[in-house]
Amino acid sequence: MRTDHVAEILRATGSLRSGNPAGVTDIVRNALAIAGLPGPATAGAEGTSALHVTPQTTAAPRVGRPPRIARLRKPLGEVVRTLRAGKPGLKLDGLPGLPRPTPAPDLPLPEGAQFLDLRHVCPSGARRYRLYIPSRADEGLRGLVVMLHGCTQTPEDFAAGTGMNALAEKHRLLVVYPAQTGGDNAMSCWNWFRPEDQRRGAGEPAIIASLTHELRARYAIPEDRVFAAGLSAGGAMAAILAETYPELYAAVGIHSGLAYGSANDTMSAFAAMRGQPAVVRMPSPNARTGAAQGPRVIVFQGTADSTVHPSNAARIIAGKGAVKASPSAPSGGTRGYIRSVAKRADGTNAVECWMIDGAQHAWSGGSSSGSYTDPTGPDASAAMVHFFLQGRSDAPA
């Protein structure tokens, strides 16, 4: 799938919301040209139609009278629908190369367990969320896991695909699934590439951190038992939380995600996903908050991922300690993988990175009842929970 025209449509959405219809016109023309679709005409002096577009090129502004903007022949909504239909194989919905998720089934609940539909409001914004409370919560909760879904997914879909609720029931964990909607991002992605959403104290990281603080206090979760994990855009946001709120999260899991500061706009986000991250100068949140080590990190990445280039995994763990790699051959229908580990002085693993042979952009070991999953494994959810609770993914339950 060509991604440049997707970026243009996301830009058009932002321009329309900011009250810049002229900008929308130019962006849609550019998107049509990139996608190879017929474009709206610009009236010339002879009444003929001409359209000359050079992708990723911005013309110098005129001085004096504003330029005349030719009116689109078709409404913007119809143009977007045309782009969505496009040519065979041209898609805007979902993640590149993967089908749009179907509605997630209702998850069966053990007797006494709850899967609540709630809403969190704080000064930085508001989000709907689902909260799984295990049936044995009255025996004492062992931790809180914040699960951040990928683009086009929902909390319900993500819960079904990862199977995290079943693990929460087994290990007495509280699991929260914040929801990102089309109103927050055109494809329901977490906005990991926007500078305002990569900072402490504002934007989406602040909303998620506020929700985490509230749940930790409400359910008396120990401070060293708060974790976050995500897939794709959700994985990139988990990486941001690790950097901007290192004192809040003891460990994070990043599945098919990107490193903090990989991009600063939509175009650089697509470049980073292709393995060409921009040089983005970001503040040093760990130094500012006084966190000495930061959270422990476990990374899962497929070697055949065509949506987020596998090189992004190395960027996530760069500078987090010397790693020692050990291969694992395929066994019992499970994919082989290389697991790299860097240890802390206390014997726990500071970093784990699982490079999974032949895996694409999907949650490893997930259930087919959710979207973007690879049931063949290895089981990323179980490994993450062990890593969170025991300090290493291969620890006994």
Residues 178 and 321 in one domain: yes
Residues 197 and 317 in one domain: yes
Q: Is residue 109 part of a domain?
A: no
Higher-pLDDT residue of 354 and 108 is 354
Residue 282, pLDDT score: 64
Q: What is the pLDDT of residue 29?
A: 52
Q: Give pLDDT, residue 395.
A: 73
Chain mean position to CA 184: 13
- Would 148 be classed as within a structural domain? yes
Report the alpha-carbon distance of residue 133 to residue 154 in Å, rounded: 18
Same domain, 18 and 157: no
Question: Lowest mean pLDDT: which of 81-85, 290-294, 364-368?
Answer: 81-85
pTM for the predicted model, two decimal places = 0.76
Q: Tell me: do 120 and 263 sit in the same domain.
A: yes
Instruction: Give domain status of residue 105, yes or no.
Output: no
Let me know whether 158 and 73 are in one domain. no
Give me the mean pLDDT over the 39-46 stretch: 40
Cα 12 to Cα 351: distance, rounded to the nearest angstrom: 39
The average confidence (pLDDT) of the chain is 80
Residue 92 to residue 4: CA distance in whole angstroms: 11
Is residue 16's pLDDT more than 70?
A: no
pLDDT at 50: 32
Least confident piece of the model among 12-16, 129-133, 348-352:
12-16
Q: Do residues 74 and 142 both lie within one domain?
A: no
The predicted pLDDT at position 397 comes to: 53
Contact (CB, 8 A) for 305 and 256: yes
Give 279's contacts (C-beta < 8 A, 6+ positions apart). none
Residue 357 in domain: yes
Q: Report residue 85's pLDDT band, with 50, 70 and 90 as the boundaries.
A: very low
**Last residue in a domain, options 60, 93, 126:** 93
Q: Is there a single domain that holds both residue 208 and residue 292?
A: yes
- At 13, is the pLDDT very low, low, confident or very high (cuts 50, 70, 90)? very low
Indicate the burial class of 326 (C-beta count within 10 angstroms; 0-12, 13-18, 19 or more): exposed
Q: Is the pLDDT of residue 42 over 80?
A: no
pLDDT at 286 over 60: no
Q: Are residues 18 and 131 in the same domain?
A: no
Handedness of CA 7, 354, 378, 166 (dihedral sign): negative
Residue 352, domain extent: 114-390
| pLDDT per residue as tens digits for the range 140-156 | 999 999 999 999 999 99
Has residue 5 been placed in a domain? yes
> How far is CA 340 from each of CA 9, 98, 275, rounded to the nearest angstrom?
39, 28, 20
CATH classification of the domain holding 174: 3.40.50.1820
CA 222, CA 385: separation in Å to the nearest integer?
Answer: 16
396 in a domain, yes or no? no
Do 357 and 298 fall within a single domain?
yes
More confident residue, 324 or 42: 324
Q: Per the structure, how many domains does the chain have?
A: 2
Same domain, yes or no, for 82 and 122? no
The residue with greater pLDDT, 225 or 9, is 225
Query: In which region does residue 266 sit, left (phi positive, over 0), alpha (psi from -120 to 50) or beta (all else)?
Result: alpha
* Residue 395: inside a domain: no
Please give the C-alpha separations between residue 155 and each of 75, 180, 361, 374, in angstroms, as whole numbers.
33, 9, 18, 18
State whether 270 and 303 are in the same domain: yes
Greater pLDDT, 292 or 154: 154
pLDDT tens column, 305-340: 999 999 999 999 999 888 899 999 998 889 999 999
* pLDDT for position 290: 43
Model confidence over 165-179: pLDDT tens digits? 999 999 999 999 999
Residue 104 included in any domain: no
Instruction: Say whether both 167 and 81 belong to one domain.
Output: no
- Is the confidence at residue 258, as pLDDT, over 50? yes
